Structure 1
């Protein structure tokens, strides 16, 4: 049995214990399907207890000296730095991450937690002039109270930490529910990190639950004032509806159908290198991954040849091998879904220029050529499958890039930076990268999407804004004359 056995518990009110739900879940390695741990899943009652704990502990936590809260966040940074190898190994074994991707993920976790360590010292108030003589208007920034965080399986540690660290830093209580497929790397390991860092008992809780058993109770519970969700657009839409009905704030980071535009004046090899990273990093299982590559017809044939050569050079296989760059998809269902989409695209006229092989849960790169209408271009693949689309003008490139309900990330390659910026401005997406690829995240920059790719922004001052609320307090310092 794995050495990660001690992470297979619920973390509720400062105690590590089994859940009281009906389900036992086997957490497996997606490469060889070895069982890493077994979880006794949380029940609706466990979730309620976790939220009660977060609510009860939150007030004292929010009143803790801000320098002390900041120090605790810095402690978490230190722990992640000291235990990097252990965290990398956990990501490799549980999520199928390559060593490269796992290390990038730890870097992201450290960066956002270090930024969050500044938040306790930025919870200031402002004085605002008043229309009323003798009145002072004060606006105070305050924590929301309790926050629910729902994480995904693909970048499990970081996409949980991106919400948990800022939410804790500003003084909220937090209940984290990771995807069960990465229950340890996206959930209980964060509980361990912050417990050791000094977060008081009850402030952070981690529950691993079966959605069939708990249904909507995690979102609909009356205590959390906000739900932060990262995942599919379909689930995000449902969560947004629940939050609206229950008057809760929601931050939703959802799916993407991200495009890289290669203009006729682009540096082709530079664009190829960017496209390979933006598509095949973590096997394409990233919301920001490239799904479509839109190439001017003047350079299309050259791009296709070089891109196929590049994709064929990428090492595929066991992620425990440090040279492997493409490891397993999260499970067999993901493979079957991709194979179905590829076959549908072929029936719609797409042509295969690189045929990927499937070995267990590992799929080698697949490259198709087609139009924006084939299945692999219309739908988010979330795997190592990409569609190349030829176009004849910049205007057509922009139109094709925008012809999707999604708008998360994108990129443009051109030798003219200013032209790239002007095209980026016309792309209906929350983030665009000129002469780079679509997979970028930084702790000080606004991260988020447009259209069906979500609501809200993460990073820097935007995270500070999302995880807090404002209160107006006025003082009437001189007697006020009223009209009656």
Structure 2
């Protein structure tokens, strides 16, 4: 039987707590955050927000517990992760319901996110056994150079609202696996799935008290205190490029390493020799999974002009068939956007694009946070819908004449996260992919891919650093040089 995954909730008490120093307690701030279901607006829970004193307590608890955690045998650390994996697997249905209720995720989306989180936990479980060092020679007789891989100490993690469980776990699990303490600040729209749920998993798995802390708060309550605090050496942020730039600046001023997983404006390119049916299916999945609220989503679909009209006709037919509505319904593909502000912002961007010449081949109705699919055509490269990230079920479909034009269009953006190329000539596809200025490109596939052992990250305004596998191990550790003189060294004076 699945364990009770949320001991703080009950039918009569919606008040939730932060997790600081191994204790569940309300934040000390003077504001109450209402966590709402984006589909129907109902209150899921209430949080007394954390203040700067709570941030300080959380970081100090993480630093103290980390000194205990680093002494735990590597196999003992791995055993903790095995318990965490089992806990998630036993509670898949409960977590699925949480993802639907708190962020409007469909059952399909929840399955993808939970699967990713499990894979990340499995990979992080190997980290304690991969904290390997090196011995290097020296030009000095009887001397050796030892390089030790050490945890950085404490990591601050800021998780987003769109994939809060998977992307929160993407930093939390490897940071802990590499021997660090962690303080996690989830997005205010997803404090449970992106925060307290992760704390409950690791608490159940038996991490030392205080090793993982979760502070539920809002930026007006803490300012830059989460990033500026002197204890964390690494800040891992997932979110918008605007906020990411600020996090990077504050981190640099305080001599911290910043890992930034930011937005995208991905292009899916369909060459003249592409499998058209596959390209249409991949394009629909690339744009409309989780309502288009994925940084890797295909904002722009670039189609060779010889296929353009046929592609557009098939694409529109499939898009019109996508069910829009209650994310808990088993057949729903497009649920709500995370909040009304996001829906209004996206609608305004679409109207601005249309005002500057875009034509809606399909213009779905907007009903509160439910935003039906919109497909825009007749676009110029400088149209705002071509340049901005479309964080919702809106997509641009654009013809191109040749490969050079396709590559130029794909690169005509300040972002550089993901992309895809569809062609029957694999080598040709790879050649084009290497010309696209992004961190990731996928041949004959969706733009949305994430695998726990493969480098994940972007170029340009899409981020700094890479996560997953060896790259996460690198980001959350440092190397210490210890030299050993086995003889009697002679000095010049």
Identify the TM-score tier after normalising by the shorter chain.
over 0.9
Pair 1:461 & 2:474 matched: no
Match of 1:334 among 342, 345, 348: 342
Aligned to 2:217: 209
Contact 2:15 2:47 in 1 (8 A): no
Does residue 441 (structure 1) correspond to residue 450 (structure 2)? The answer is yes
Please report how far the alpha carbon of residue 483 of structure 1 lies from its aligned counterpart in structure 2 after TM superposition. 2.3
Say yes or no: does 1:430 pair with 2:439: yes
**RMSD, matched Cα:** 1.1
Rounded to whole Å, the distance in 1 between the matches of 2:224 and 2:87 is: 34
Displacement over 3 Å in runs of 4+: 1-7
TM-score, scaled to structure 1: 0.99
Aligned-residue offset at 1:141: 0.4
Q: State which drifts further: 297-306 or 354-363.
A: 354-363
Where does the alignment leave 5 or more consecutive residues of structure 2 unmatched? 1-8
Decide which of 404, 426, 430 is 1:421's aligned counterpart. Answer: 430
Q: Which residue of 2 aligns with 1:224?
A: 232
What SS class does the counterpart of residue 298 from structure 1 fall into? coil
Q: Can you list the C-alpha shifts for 1:297-347, whole angstroms capped at 9, x where unaligned?
A: 111001110110010111110001011010000011111111111111111
SS at match of 1:181: coil
Q: Which runs of 5 or more structure 1 residues have no equivalent in the other structure?
A: none
**What is the TM-score when the length of structure 2 is the normalising length?**
0.97
Is 1:398 paired with 2:407?
Answer: yes
The Cα shift of 1:132 comes to: 1.3
> 1:7 deviation in Å?
7.7
Q: Match of 2:461?
A: 452
In structure 2, C-alpha distance between the alignment counterparts of 1:205 and 1:55, rounded to whole Å: 11
Counterpart of 1:373 in structure 2 is 382
Equivalent in 399, 414, 420 of residue 411 of structure 1: 420
Q: Indicate the larger mover: 77-86 or 122-131.
A: 122-131
Residues in 2 aligned to 1:348 and 1:132: alpha-carbon distance in whole angstroms = 69
Name the CA distance, whole Å, in 1 between partners of 2:389 and 2:245: 16
The match for 2:6 is none
Query: Cα distance, 1:268 vs. partner?
Result: 1.1
**Contact residue 23 and residue 41 of structure 1 kept, 8 A:** yes
Post-superposition shift, 1:122? 0.6
In 2, Cα distance between equivalents of 1:317 and 1:131: 69
Match of residue 235, structure 1, among 234, 243, 250: 243
Is this contact kept in 2: 1:372–1:389, CA < 8 A? no
For residue 28 of structure 1, what is the aligned residue in structure 2? 36
Q: Distance in 1 between matches of 2:105 and 2:122?
A: 23
Q: 1:444: Cα distance to partner?
A: 0.6
Question: Given the alignment of the two structures, is residue 281 of structure 1 paired with residue 265 of structure 2, yes or no?
Answer: no
Partner of 2:5: none
CA deviation digits over 1:223-269, x for unaligned, max 9? 00010000000100000001111000110000101000111111111
Q: Tell whether the 8 Å contact from 1:44 to 1:214 is kept in structure 2 after alignment.
A: yes
- The answer (yes or no) to whether the contact 2:68–2:208 under 8 Å persists in 1 is no
CA distance in 2, matches of 1:328, 1:380: 18
SS class of match (1:294): strand
One of 160, 164, 182 as aligned partner of 1:152: 160
How far did 1:176 drift?
Answer: 0.2
Residue pair 1:23, 1:210 contacting (<8 A) in 2 also: no
